[in-house]
């Protein structure tokens, strides 16, 4: 029994690894060609699989796009929750969230390009669960900001969600203009953007 379980676990691990390889290949193809122009043949060629073998792991191109969104949003939420849990203060939690979001965006520009530019390709029934995941991530950031305001007794000159959306918009837009060959690393750029946004919390 134990041997069979171990074998099943190994098969599961190999299948998971293959799906991750396919997802990475899809990201490369979608970011290079655009989702609409890309085909499952392109993805299969990218990862060195036959088209029938590819369909063994993923139902269709739309399912691949959904998987990209799920991967980014689930990872983003997990990172944000870990940052909030480990920060020594509520203000530092907000600062670290902003720095990390900029760094993540700059370091995963292919992924974020797909997420920000291909959302209209998802039908409503598939888009809604993705929007729920996005709200879950945004709520982690909003909660961190609100806890800092409650703790410090400060108020914002705008709705808290407006401030959070403005911060995330500034962080996310770096996928468009960040230059990997520029003078600032992703994390240094995150520090710069956080330094520009945090004074609103301290006012």
Task: Give DSSP secondary structure letters for 69-109.
Answer: HHHHHHHHHHHHHHHHHH-SSHHHHHHHHHHHHHHHHHHTH
Q: Is the pLDDT of residue 7 over 70?
A: no
Domains of the chain (ranges plus CATH)? 1-58 (1.10.10.60), 60-202 (1.10.357.10)
pLDDT of the residue at 185: 97
Percent of the chain exceeding pLDDT 90 equals 70
Of the listed ranges 43-47, 94-98, 118-122, 166-170, the one predicted with least confidence: 118-122
Percent of the chain exceeding pLDDT 70 equals 94
Q: Helix, strand, or coil here: 50?
A: coil
pLDDT of the residue at 133: 94
Q: What is the dihedral of CA 16, 17, 18, 24, to 10 degrees?
A: 110
pLDDT of the residue at 195: 97
Compute the residue count for the chain.
203
**Rounded CA separation 167/159 (Å):** 13
Residues 6+ apart with CB under 8 A from 106: 174, 175, 178, 180, 186, 189, 190
pLDDT of the residue at 2: 41
User: 194 with 98: CB under 8 angstroms?
Assistant: yes
Task: Name the pLDDT band for 106 (thresholds 50, 70, 90).
Answer: very high
Q: Is the pLDDT of residue 81 over 90?
A: yes
Record the tokens describing residue 13, joined without a space: 């691990």
Q: Is the pLDDT of residue 1 over 70?
A: no
Q: Is the pLDDT of residue 178 over 50?
A: yes
Per residue in 120-129, pLDDT tens? 888 888 888 9
Record the tokens describing residue 141, joined without a space: 């950031």
**Rounded CA separation 72/112 (Å):** 8
Q: Name the phi and psi angles at 153, rounded to 5.
A: 75, 15
Q: Name the phi and psi angles at 181, rounded to 5.
A: -90, 5
Q: Helix, strand, or coil here: 173?
A: coil
């Amino acid at each position: 029994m134990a041997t069979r379980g171990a074998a099943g676990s190994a098969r599961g691990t190999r299948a998971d690894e293959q799906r991750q390889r396919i997802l990475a290949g899809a990201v490369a193809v979608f970011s290079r060609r655009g989702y609409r122009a890309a085909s499952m043949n392109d993805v299969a060629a990218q990862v060195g699989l036959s088209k029938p073998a590819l369909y063994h792991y993923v139902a269709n191109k739309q399912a691949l796009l959904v998987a990209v969104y799920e991967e980014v949003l689930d990872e983003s939420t997990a990172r944000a929750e870990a940052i909030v849990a480990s920060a020594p203060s509520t203000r530092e939690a907000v600062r670290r969230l902003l720095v990390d979001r900029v760094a993540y965006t700059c370091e995963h520009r292919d992924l974020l390009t797909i997420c920000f530019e291909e959302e209209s390709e998802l039908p409503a029934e598939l888009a809604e669960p993705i929007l729920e995941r996005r709200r879950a991530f945004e709520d982690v950031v909003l909660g961190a900001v609100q806890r800092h305001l409650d703790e410090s007794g400060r108020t914002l000159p705008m709705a808290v969600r407006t401030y959070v959306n403005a911060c995330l918009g500034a962080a996310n837009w770096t996928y468009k203009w960040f230059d990997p060959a520029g003078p600032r690393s992703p994390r240094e750029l995150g520090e710069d953007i956080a330094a520009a946004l945090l004074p609103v919390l301290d006012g």
